[in-house]
Amino acid sequence: MNSPAPASPFGSRRYNAYNDWVTRKHGGRIQKVSVAAGFTCPNRDGSVGTGGCSFCNNAGFTPGYLDVRAGIHAQIETGLGFLRRRYPAINRFIAYFQSYSNTYGEMARLRECYEAALAHPDICGLAIGTRPDCLPDEVLDYLAELAQTRHIELEIGVESTSDAALEQVNRGHDFTCSADAITRAAQRGLFITVHLILGLPGETQADMLIGADRLSALPINAIKFHQLQLVRGTPLARAWQRNPESVPLFEEDAYLDLLADFVERLSPAILIQRLGSEVPPHLKLAPTWNLRLSELAPRLDALLQSRGTHQGCRTASS
């Protein structure tokens, strides 16, 4: 007879879920309301590069209702309308500056945008997506000031810990840049979420698992995983169309296996915000999965349960 899997330190789950932490800390879930402020990216405007990252088409993860011309308050109102219909039990919201690099701009403009969002009576904080090379000390000091009275989350697109992969996708920065930005933000007490894409060309599965060790050694609070998806109109999608073997893609079971391996090596103190991402069907070229994003969490839990493992059980210090 098979013996039961060892108990998990995370209760009913096998990993440290961000939503569970938010519920414990704030007494319920907090939902993010996306807003677009019209920022750009140094990898597009020529200061670092042009053309952007080879995998990037912002339309792939920007809600269709966002319109910079409408202004931040109006975008929040529209987003709240959608979210309240979908999640009627949630009454706490933070504004999510998601598209492009939302700390890349003059300080006066950053203040104007953030404070416009915080002025909305239903917004209790901000989540700010950006790149590690767009976080000067002046911006971090200001965010730390806001964090004294508001819920502030800084989301940094690390994407990979492999310099070879970062160079191959035209990222425009290396992992040392990411580690420096994370360290300086943590020194100011900011809540840091990193974004990581699993499956970038130029990176082996062994490299990706080394990434778990490298990220675990940094003072980050949370992580968002993304499986590599090919979005129409991007250089990476065009390269795949010319030669599919040049851009290997994960099938869903292989991705889940890699995710489990990664989570086992990830520090148990790091919260997991998301396990994958979805691109609108009309924009996604590949891969074609039968697995919905909502199915990833129970599938990962079941896989870890069957292995008798949990997040952090194979970290360097275990």
Domain count, the chain: 1
**What is the pLDDT, as a whole number, of residue 25?**
87
Structure tokens at 46: 């020529």
**What confidence tier does 1 reach under pLDDT thresholds 50, 70, 90?**
very low
Q: What domain range is 168 assigned to?
A: 18-227+238-307
Residue 3 has pLDDT above 60, yes or no: no
**With a threshold of 0.85, does the pTM exceed it?**
yes
Name the DSSP class of 297.
H
Distance separating alpha carbons of residues 38 and 32, to the nearest angstrom: 18
Return the pLDDT at 275. Answer: 97
Please say whether the beta carbons of 44 and 50 come within 8 A. yes
Task: Output DSSP code: residue 69.
Answer: G
Q: What is the CATH number of the domain that holds 111?
A: 3.80.30
Name the amino acid, one letter, at 309: T
Query: Measured between alpha carbons, how far is residue 125 from residues 58, 134, 148 in Å?
Result: 23, 21, 11
Task: List pLDDT tens digits, range 194-210.
Answer: 999 999 999 999 999 99
Lowest mean pLDDT among 63-77, 145-159, 263-277: 63-77
DSSP code at position 7: P
- The pair phi, psi for residue 21, each rounded to 5°, is -65, -45
Q: From CA 72, how far away is CA 36, in angstroms rounded?
A: 7
Tell me the mean pLDDT in the region 178-196: 98
10 is a domain residue: no
The pLDDT, as a whole number, for residue 59 is: 60
- Round to whole Å and give the CA distance between 41 and 171: 11
* Assigned token pair, 169: 């996708």
User: Does residue 262 form part of some domain?
Assistant: yes
Could you report the per-residue pLDDT of 43-81, keeping only the tens digit for each?
A: 888 888 777 888 887 665 556 566 666 789 999 999 998
Amino acid at 138: E
* Residue 222 located in a structural domain: yes
| C-alpha to C-alpha distance for 284 and 165, rounded to whole angstroms | 21
Other C-beta atoms within 10 Å of 184: how many? 16
Whether the CB-CB separation of 165 and 207 falls below 8 Å is answered with yes
Is 186 inside any structural domain? yes
Name the pLDDT band for 146 (thresholds 50, 70, 90).
very high
| 242, burial (CB in 10 Å: exposed 0-12, middle 13-18, buried 19+) | exposed
Using N-to-C axis directions, what is the helix angle for 137-147 and 175-187, rounded to 10°?
40
pLDDT above 70 covers what percent of the chain?
93
| Residue 289 included in any domain | yes
Which residue in 126, 175, 173 sits closest to 152, CA to CA? 126
149 found inside a domain: yes
- Please indicate, yes or no, if residue 9 is contained in any of the structural domains: no
Q: What's residue 195's pLDDT?
A: 97
Confidence of residue 26 (pLDDT cuts 50, 70, 90): confident
Q: Which residues contact 267 (CB under 8 A, 6 or more apart)?
A: 215, 216, 312, 315
Q: Which of 2-11, 93-102, 175-184 has the lowest mean pLDDT?
A: 2-11
Is 263 within a domain? yes
**Mean pLDDT value across the chain:** 91
* The pLDDT of residue 32: 93
pLDDT at 66: 63
